Homo-oligomer: A and B are copies of this chain.
Amino acid sequence: MINKISTEKCKSSIKALEDAMYVIGGKWTLRVIIAIKDGHTRFNDLQRTIDGISAKVLSGVLKDLEQNGFVKRKVDIGVPVVVEYELLPYAESLQDVLNALVSWGEAHRNKLIKVQEMSIAQP
- List residues of chain A with CB under 8 Å of any chain B CB: 2, 6-7, 9-11, 13-21, 23, 25, 27, 30-31, 34-35, 37-40, 45, 49-51, 93-94, 96-109
Contact = CB atoms under 8 A, between A and B. Distances in A.
A84 B107 CA distance: 28
Nearest to A36: B10
A96 to B, nearest CB: 4
A102 B97 CA distance: 9
Contacts of A50: 14
A108 B23 contact: yes
A16 B106 contact: yes
A94 B101 contact: no
